[in-house]
Structure 1
Amino acid sequence: MNKTYLLSTTATIKSGSYTILLLSIILTILSSSHPVSAQPQVEIISLFSDENSMDITLQSHNSIENGHIEFTLSHQDDIIITRTIDLDMPEDSKLTKVIIWDTQLHSNANSYTAKATVYSNDELINESSCKFSYGFITLPRFKIVDLSATSSGASVLLIPRKLSDPTVADITFELIYQNEIIYSKTKEDISIIQSTPLSINWPILLKDQTDYIVRVVAFSHAPQITSSYVTGFTSCQDIEIDDTDVDVDDFGGSVTLFGRSQVPFDGIVEIELRQDGAEPLIYSDRSDILTLNRDDTVGMVWNDLDPGVYNVFILVKTLKGDILDRYETVLLIPEPINPISKPTEKTTPGFNIILTLVMITVSFALIRKN
């Protein structure tokens, strides 16, 4: 009986070993067929869209080269517009990309779907979508009626929809270049009781003759609604002559300049004197490099101007010769005044001879006396 028991025990143990081995093989096959999902190459942190713009914020876990993002805007099954932008990201980095839809939506269509698909080397690595309603089902309690932007900054005007229904909002100004936000500034808890203007100056330098996009993102506290508004501008140098500080006289001229742009001004001041019937006289000098709200005074000296009336033309030019500002005035050079000559003192003829003879006679008398 003991022997039989031992054989039975041995058989039971072997059967269990075979079962464990078989389960291990099955699990190995299943794990190779359905591997545990790895961390995505890039993670979509946030996604926003309305009828004006769309943005996506990404966090990379591996580097992405030769990638791109495809943005699509659709209504039901109809794709309205597609935008594609390039994507390159170093490992463990974060960035936000922005696109402008620039299309007319159907006012009778309530719901739209915005989708972002991320590719690396033409391989899909992540995607996400969001829905929004055109014109809002619930409107924010304020309106943005004016948005403008230049090379100096941006401004916006907020007005409440009802004066009896004030509200509070956060307003974010974004400066966008080639689909990336290069500067952002948020003004929080803005009370909109009446018409409320907001403005900012760009604190960063801009490239000359470059297209920029400005987006204002408005977040209404109650009801909680986020909306975007978009405009654009082409950057340029901008300078202004201070007409209260222009001086020209017989000896020279000076002019004070103010920078009005974050595109650095690099140019000259030219003063031209014109007189009827004569060749114009031109004087020029280089200005300091000026940016927004910086100033410089440029002076020039001239000598021996002919008398007469001169028309004075002051021009501020870029190094390419573009005129940014001008000022005109008149200069009078008076005729020289001759000095008044003193009249010659009249003397009696022979007076000096008589005086000399008297002095000789007195001297001779004194000698004889001694």
Structure 2
Amino acid sequence: MKALLFVLVLFLISVLPASAANTSQANGTAPTRIAELYSDIESFDVTLYSIQPEENLTLEVSLIRSENGNKEVIATQEFSTGSLPANTRVTKVGLWDVRNAERGAYTLRARLLEQGQILSESEYDFVYGGNSASRLRVDDLIPNSEGITVILSPNQASLFDLEYMLVDGHDVLSSTKTEKASLTSIPEAFSASWETLLENNREYTGRVKVRVYSPNRGFIASTENFTARDDAKITDIYEDETGASATVLGRSQVPFEGSLAFSVYKLNENFGTGNAIPIESVQERVPVLLNNDDETVEIAWSQKLPEGVYRLEIELLGNNGDVIEHRETVIESDLSLASSLSSVNNSTSETEASSGKRTPGFSASSLISGLVAVFVLFKEAKLKQNTRL
């Protein structure tokens, strides 16, 4: 009997630590664990935390429908967590594709796995299509290459936090928070700019998560996809008979590496565009721009425009050479043709002088002046000699 009791005690000692370990992992005290969960019928997010660096763990998430005591898994996703830095909260985001969703109770179940072994497990319950109305609702969500804007309407005066997320696949590239914002009676737009560079023609997801403080600390989330594009606009132009300039403002977190094309045409007397004569075209690269950066690009015509009326066309070309914006204006010059040619000759003379060249006329006058000075000195010397004699 004593021997049997001894064996039973040894068995319990060997089993209890494993059970305690599983309980601690489920309760969120494991070294690497699921720290926070959220889901609705459209999307979910899982926040992970580790006290040590981890690589390529597996996150398994399931959407479970509960009805009359029965549970049905209606969607499951499994993906790698990538790199998890030590002592850093990392959030992973995903989208559900549930068609004809039924009203009722749902559960998000998340499991963090390492080679098939569960490191941490957690669940989040929510109700879809319930009668309980939130204090806030999302009227519209617009993410683009600049940032994200959400329009919120209050059902009651509310105090809330806003989190803006830029998502690529399951990874949150950028996250910005606005704390203790408020609405009282009318809808209002809230915006944030992305704080990271985007890749041209790549699809991203913009997400807003609203945390309402009262009566219960609930959440509202909204998600929308967009394709990042390089973008800019011309904000100011200047033109005259000597040249032109344009100021360009960046409107995207995709680096803008485009150019400006300036073209000038001589117009006939009735200013008809059909008979315009091409005079000159110049294309100049725009310095790299990001959202809200601006640069001014200046060009000069090869010669001043003679008297007449000209049409100036300015095209802003994108990274791929596509025309983003087209502007037209007129240049009215009162310079005569002779004045225009004279200005060109003067410019040529100034260029030669600055490079150390001299014109033949200048060299001849210098030679004559030198000969006269020598003749005068020679004559004075001869007079002095005759006086002595």
**2:284 paired residue number:** 285
- Once the two structures are TM-superposed, the CA of residue 270 in structure 1 deviates from its matched residue by 0.9
**1:123 paired residue number:** 117
Deviation string, structure 1 residues 330-359 (Cα, Å, up to 9, x no partner): 3345572669xxxxxxxxxxxxxxxxxxxx
User: Is 1:51–2:41 an aligned residue pair?
Assistant: yes
- 1:221-232 matches, cutoff 5 A: 221-224=213-216, 225-232=218-225
Separation in structure 1 between the aligned mates of residue 84 and residue 320 of structure 2, nearest angstrom: 39
Task: Identify the match of residue 94 of structure 2 among 69, 92, 99.
Answer: 99
Letter in 2 for 1:124: I
**2:182 paired residue number:** 191
Partner SS, residue 290 of structure 1: coil
**1:363 paired residue number:** none
Separation in structure 2 between the aligned mates of residue 248 and residue 146 of structure 1, nearest angstrom: 42
Distance 1:67 1:262, change over 3 A: same
Partner SS, residue 57 of structure 2: strand
- Once the two structures are TM-superposed, the CA of residue 216 in structure 1 deviates from its matched residue by 1.0
Letter in 2 for 1:56: V
Letter in 1 for 2:315: L
- Once the two structures are TM-superposed, the CA of residue 112 in structure 1 deviates from its matched residue by 0.8
Distance 1:258 1:328, change over 3 A: same
- Assess if the C-alpha contact under 8 Å between 1:65 and 1:120 holds in 2: no
- Once the two structures are TM-superposed, the CA of residue 218 in structure 1 deviates from its matched residue by 1.3
Distance 1:319 1:121, change over 3 A: same
Separation in structure 1 between the aligned mates of residue 55 and residue 11 of structure 2, nearest angstrom: 34
**1:329 paired residue number:** 329
**1:177 paired residue number:** 168
Task: Identify the match of residue 150 of structure 1 among 141, 144, 149.
Answer: 144
- Once the two structures are TM-superposed, the CA of residue 64 in structure 1 deviates from its matched residue by 4.1
Separation in structure 2 between the aligned mates of residue 90 and residue 188 of structure 1, nearest angstrom: 26
Letter in 2 for 1:290: L
Distance 1:30 1:78, change over 3 A: closer
Task: Identify the match of residue 139 of structure 1 among 133, 137, 153.
Answer: 133
**1:212 paired residue number:** 204
Partner SS, residue 288 of structure 1: coil
Distance 1:100 1:70, change over 3 A: same
Separation in structure 2 between the aligned mates of residue 85 and residue 114 of structure 1, nearest angstrom: 16
Letter in 2 for 1:143: R
The structure that is helix-richer by fraction is 2
- Once the two structures are TM-superposed, the CA of residue 45 in structure 1 deviates from its matched residue by 1.1
Letter in 1 for 2:91: T
Partner SS, residue 31 of structure 1: helix
Separation in structure 1 between the aligned mates of residue 142 and residue 85 of structure 2, nearest angstrom: 37
Distance 1:166 1:35, change over 3 A: closer
Separation in structure 2 between the aligned mates of residue 113 and residue 22 of structure 1, nearest angstrom: 45
Distance 1:46 1:90, change over 3 A: closer
Moved more, 288-297 or 314-323: 314-323
Q: Calculate the aligned-residue CA RMSD, in Å.
A: 2.8
Letter in 1 for 2:247: T
Task: Identify the match of residue 259 of structure 2 among 250, 265, 268.
Answer: 268
- Assess if the C-alpha contact under 8 Å between 1:208 and 1:237 holds in 2: yes
- Once the two structures are TM-superposed, the CA of residue 66 in structure 1 deviates from its matched residue by 4.0
Separation in structure 2 between the aligned mates of residue 215 and residue 90 of structure 1, nearest angstrom: 22
Letter in 2 for 1:51: I
Separation in structure 2 between the aligned mates of residue 236 and residue 277 of structure 1, nearest angstrom: 35
Task: Identify the match of residue 250 of structure 1 among 221, 241, 263.
Answer: 241
- Assess if the C-alpha contact under 8 Å between 1:51 and 1:105 holds in 2: no
Separation in structure 1 between the aligned mates of residue 229 and residue 42 of structure 2, nearest angstrom: 26
- 1:6-155 matches, cutoff 5 A: 27-28=9-10, 30-32=12-14, 35-36=17-18, 37-38=20-21, 40=30, 42-61=32-51, 64-76=54-66, 77-90=71-84, 92-94=86-88, 95-107=90-102, 109-155=103-149
Distance 1:259 1:142, change over 3 A: same
**2:230 paired residue number:** 237
Give the % identical residues.
29
Distance 1:230 1:90, change over 3 A: closer
TM-score by length of 2: 0.72
Letter in 2 for 1:55: D
Unaligned stretches of 5+ residues in structure 2? 267-274, 340-389
- Once the two structures are TM-superposed, the CA of residue 329 in structure 1 deviates from its matched residue by 1.9
Separation in structure 1 between the aligned mates of residue 157 and residue 55 of structure 2, nearest angstrom: 49
Distance 1:93 1:338, change over 3 A: closer
Partner SS, residue 321 of structure 1: coil
Letter in 2 for 1:212: Y
Letter in 2 for 1:199: S
Separation in structure 1 between the aligned mates of residue 5 and residue 296 of structure 2, nearest angstrom: 89
